[in-house]
Amino acid sequence: MARSSDTKAQAGFALALPDNPLNGLANEHMHLREVCGHLDALADSDKAQPVLALSARAYIRGVLPNHARDEEEDLFPLLRRRAPDDKDLHCTLDRLSQDHRDIAAARPRVITILERLITDNAAPDAPEAVRLKCFADLERRHLLVENAVILPLARAYLNGRDLKRLRKRMQARRGVDDI
Ligand SMILES: [Fe+2]
Ligand SMILES: [Fe+2]
């Protein structure tokens, strides 16, 4: 079910989607790093911080699934097609796909924890704090590789038609078109 905070997060992305969709993915990476910082701040404090919990929940629930699909269903296959002999790249993409599965598996529990922190206006207990930190660590390691390796290679390998297709697919996923 669509929720207003998630819709706002998606609309914010849609309005900001640049002509080059790789810049859109890079912008989302920047926001995801901020979300990781919010998860750390929640985990490290014994005080309730509902604004941070709300912001993290909106992004993890509303933006992250589409972001992973942009990469799994479009960016990674395009890269594999444009660089069929780059074995290192294919290996890296395999590892990143495993990260996506691990992140997707951990995501519902993280959302449930954030829901509780919001509803109870509470700080996380020790097991919840560990879960939040593990999720932030996994996401940060993943972003590091995508920013350092995947996006630069995508800028080198993908042609104008690839980028146009990727942008269209990202817009379709978010239910928007050019204004
Ligand atoms: Fe990404
Ligand atoms: Fe990713």
pLDDT tens digits, residue range 16-25?
Answer: 578 899 999 9
- Supply the DSSP symbol for 20: S
* pLDDT reported for residue 1: 39
* Residue the block writes with tokens 């490290």: 44
Closest ligand to the CA of 100: 2
Say how far apart CA 122 and CA 106 lie, in whole Å: 21
**Structure tokens that stand for 30 in this block:** 């920047």
CA of 47 to the centre of ligand 1 (A): 31
CA of 139 to the centre of ligand 2 (A): 8
Measure Cα distances from 177 to 11, 15, 131 in Å: 11, 10, 37
Closest ligand to the CA of 72: 2
Measure Cα distances from 59 to 31, 68, 74, 81, 164 in Å: 8, 12, 21, 30, 25
* pLDDT reported for residue 2: 42
72 touches 19 (CB < 8 A) = no
**Domain 4-173 is found in CATH 1.10.540.10:** no
pLDDT tens per residue, range 120-151: 999 999 999 999 999 999 999 999 999 999 99
Helix, strand or coil, per DSSP, at residue 92: helix
* pLDDT reported for residue 65: 97
* pLDDT reported for residue 6: 54
Q: Which residues surround ligand 2, an ion (CB under 5 A)?
A: 71
Average pLDDT along the chain, 179 residues, taken 10 residues at a time: 50 64 96 98 98 97 97 98 97 98 98 98 98 98 98 97 96 81
CA of 146 to the centre of ligand 1 (A): 6
* pLDDT reported for residue 17: 75
C-alpha atoms less than 13 angstroms from C-alpha of 78 in its C-beta half-sphere: 25
The structural domains of the chain, with segments of one domain joined by +, span 4-173
- Supply the DSSP symbol for 120: T
Closest ligand to the CA of 101: 2
* pLDDT reported for residue 16: 59
